[in-house]
Structures are given as C-alpha cells and as structure tokens.
Structure 1
Amino acid sequence: MKMGGRLLEIGAEVFPSPALELYRDLVATGRAAGHQPLAFAVVARSLGVPLQDALAAYLFANVTSLTQNAVRAIPLGQNAGQRVLRTAHDDVAAAIDAVAHLTPDDLGAVSPGLEISQMRHERQRARMFMS
C-alpha cells in the first residue's frame, strides 16, 4: 500500500485526471486501500492505455523488479539478469493471455508464502534496499 500511495502521488502530479483524484480521495478517506496494482490500473485507464499494453507494462515491471532484487541478493550478475528478462517476454505474453480468461472469482488469488515473506521484509530492522 505504501508503493500504491507513492504511485498515486506521482500519478496525480504527472498525469492528473478526475478518476485518479477520485481514487486518491477514496484512499485518503479510508474507503479504498490504495494497493499498487489498483493505483497503476487507475493511472493507465485514465491515460487511455489499452488493457493489453497496461498488463504487459505492469507484469514486465514486476519481473524487472524481482530480477533486480535477485541481481543484488543472490548475486545473479547483470548479464544473467538481462538473460532472465529476455526469456521472461514469452512468460509475460502467456500471462496476459491467461488473464483474459479469468473471472471475478479469480480476483484475489495470491501466493500466501510470497505475501508473508513480503510482510516480514517490510518489518525487518535492516534491508539492503527499499522495495
């Protein structure tokens, strides 16, 4: 939600729109949580970005972020990181196709282990970098 809040601040400054202001108001008053994927979706939609392009940008940004983390933490190495990103293109395209077949019942399907690890990471005394 911290990342979502920051994205809303940046989005409102760089790409102001009525939809973005409405969502920011909902978050500010506690009527919406302000999760980063939703903030990204509101910004993309208000800019008229086609759904497929918005999904591709969002998913590839996540793959890039995870790869950057691996380059720092494993260490994976810059060249290996670039190879990972290149091979991820097909997986991102497949994920976009899979999203087209999801239903509202699929909303909220997450990896509990990943979520727990992310929550623990946020509360650590020391971190190598901010995520």
Structure 2
Amino acid sequence: MGQQLTYSDGLAIRFLYEGVDLGELDAHLSAQLLPRQLREASTKMGGRLIEIGTEVFPSAELEAYRAMVTTGGAAGHQPLAFAVVARSLGVPFEEALAAYLFATVTSLTQNAVRAIPLGQNSGQRLLRKAHDDVAAAVEHVRHLSWDDFGAVSPGLEISQMRHEWQRARMFMS
C-alpha cells in the first residue's frame, strides 16, 4: 500500500483529478513501471476497463482516452482508466482513490487466500485492517508532490522483475 499503490497509482489518480494531461500521466506511468509484468498487467486491465466503461458508463473523456489507446498515443493504464470513469461519474477524488485502493487490496488478498493458503477468516481480518491503511494512504497521497510520482523501492521492483523469470507461477500478472 505504501509503495506502488500510493506513489504511482494513487498519485496518477490524484493528478488526473487535478487536471494534469491524461496523455502525460499515461506516458509517465509507462516509464515508471519498470517490471514488464506490471506494465503489461496495468495496460491489459486498463484496456478492459476502458472497453467496459465505454459501454456501461460512456463519457467524452473516456472515449477520448479509448481513442488515444487505439491509435497508440497512450498505453491505457488501469488507474487512469478507473479515474476517468470515476471522475466522469462525479465521484469525488477521495472516494475514487479509496475505492481503487481497496479493490486492489481485495484482489491481492483473494490471491493470497488461494495461494498461501491464508484462509478465509484471515483474509477477512486483513481486509478489515486494510480499511485503515487505505484511509491513511488516501490522506498521504493528498500531501505528495509531482517529485514523489513513481518513487518506489528499487528492491521491490527488482523482486518483481525476477518474478517474470520464475519457471512456474500460480497467477497471471
């Protein structure tokens, strides 16, 4: 929560809400997501969200992002697609960011329940604790600057890059 979700995804969502150019944010995310698997996962999920969002929650801004992605002018990252949909629906920034962060934590927890095995009860306890962590992350993102955008632990990124070369993986990144 205190690394990539806050300093990359969280700040990207905040900057979009503040009016920073969508194409610029998309390019920065592409450059900052060093592990190939993370970049591909972000754009794969973002692309699906753009397609679904265009059908279910159509808006001029989402259609413009879709056009940028279709023509190769943008990659279509998940946090930006989510933020475009949320903002076009009038969801306030703090609520949108909290929803995005909690959805991500929920997905990771579900994977842990299946992979470790963590167990359903432990998974639910983790999700309850995550509420406090999400609230703290939302507050923290409000106070960060452009210079903080993409500031994540090199050790975490190196581990993520090593992961793509493992022989067997349980989940698609």
TM-score, normalised relative to structure 2: 0.68
Structure 1 runs of 4+ off > 6 angstroms?
122-125
Alignment of 1:32-71 (within 5 A): 32-71=74-113
Alignment of 1:100-111 (within 5 A): 100-111=142-153
Alignment of 1:64-103 (within 5 A): 64-103=106-145
Q: How many residues align?
A: 131
Structure 2 unaligned regions, length at least 5:
1-42
Higher RCO (Cα < 8 Å, 6 or more apart): 2
Alpha-carbon displacement from aligned partner over 1:73-102 (angstroms, at most 9, x marks no partner)? 111001100000001111110001001101
In the aligned structure 2, how far is the partner of 1:115 from the partner of 1:27? 25
- Judged with a 3 Å threshold, the aligned counterparts in structure 2 of structure 1 residues 111 and 37 are, in CA distance, closer, same or farther, namely farther
Secondary structure of the 1:105 match is helix
In the aligned structure 1, how far is the partner of 2:58 from the partner of 2:165? 32
Q: How far has the Cα of 1:119 moved from its partner?
A: 5.5
Secondary structure of the 1:5 match is helix
- Judged with a 3 Å threshold, the aligned counterparts in structure 2 of structure 1 residues 43 and 75 are, in CA distance, closer, same or farther, namely same
- Judged with a 3 Å threshold, the aligned counterparts in structure 2 of structure 1 residues 98 and 113 are, in CA distance, closer, same or farther, namely same
In the aligned structure 1, how far is the partner of 2:52 from the partner of 2:140? 30
Which residue in the other structure is 2:52 paired with?
Answer: 10
Structure 1 unaligned regions, length at least 5:
none
Q: How far has the Cα of 1:123 moved from its partner?
A: 7.3
- Judged with a 3 Å threshold, the aligned counterparts in structure 2 of structure 1 residues 116 and 34 are, in CA distance, closer, same or farther, namely farther
In the aligned structure 2, how far is the partner of 1:73 from the partner of 1:8? 29
Alpha-carbon displacement from aligned partner over 1:44-77 (angstroms, at most 9, x marks no partner)? 1111110010011001011111111111111100
TM-score, normalised relative to structure 1: 0.88
Q: Percent identity?
A: 81
